[in-house]
Structure 1
Amino acid sequence: MNRVVTNIDDVATILKLLGDKTRLTMMALLDNKNCCVCELVEFFQMSQPAISQHLRKLKDAGLLNETKKAQWVFYSVNKEHEMYSLIQDILAHVPDQQEKLKELEEKGTRILCE
């Protein structure tokens, strides 16, 4: 059952966050798999500070969960977020990101922080 959101400001905030190609791609990737910053740096070919900035914005909005394992921090989509159904609807239109992860594995450039 989809929950009706009545606060237009909350919807606009989600759409603004997901209007950025990198954050939208992150959400699509993290919806299916937990990833460490190191993996995302390799995936996006961006600096660690740039990746961390995108993650911070998504986390501050409550869209991401973080889990610490030893010195690593893994991120995943917060599927308990009140607007997760809206996020799912948006992500349904985003190409699957798992293929790119497989390509990184085949090239031997995928970083696994476990």
Structure 2
Amino acid sequence: MEKDSLESTANILKLLGDKTRLAMMGLLIKNDCCVCEFVEIFKMTQPAISQHLRKLKDAGLVKEQRRGQWIFYSLNRDHRSFPLVQDVIRHIPDQEEKIIQLEQQGLRITCN
């Protein structure tokens, strides 16, 4: 394993070592989400959520796409570390229930 690859893998694992970012990635494996949805799911402030997303985006793990006034985040499946991210996500509880609860509260559609 090259030093570069070791460094890169360590950085990815460090990012995913934060439980909020790990849960975000678990959500994004099946759903695109916007900041306001993450704010509701994690009960955190918008600036705190944005900081987590910025770290993931700076690493190239997530992409953003503007839809109207909202910015939606999705996993960057083209990233060379995506297989690693996928493997890690397989080892955490499914996050889909959080999206279902958001829909039941009528908060999933606030960004559309």
Give the TM-score taking structure 2 as reference length.
0.92
SS of structure 1 residue aligned to 2:65: strand
Listed as ranges, the gaps of 5+ residues in structure 2 are none
Instruction: State the identity as a percent.
Output: 58
Contact 1:40 1:51 (8 Å CA) reproduced: yes
> Could you say what the CA RMSD is over the residues aligned between the two structures, in angstroms?
1.3
What do the CA deviations read for 1:30-80 (whole angstroms, capped 9, x no partner)? Answer: 111101101110010000000000000000000001000111100001000
SS at match of 1:22: helix
Higher relative contact order (CA 8 A, sep 6+): 1
Q: What is the number of residues matched between the two proteins?
A: 110
Q: Structure 1: give runs of 5+ residues left out of the alignment.
A: none
Q: Distance in 1 between matches of 2:65 and 2:103?
A: 23
How does 1:1-114 map onto structure 2 within 5 Å? 6=2, 7-110=5-108, 112-114=110-112
TM normalised by structure 1 equals 0.90
Give distance in 2, aligned partners of 1:36 and 1:106.
17
Spell out structure 1 runs of 4+ moving beyond 4 A. none
Return the structure number with greater helix share: 2
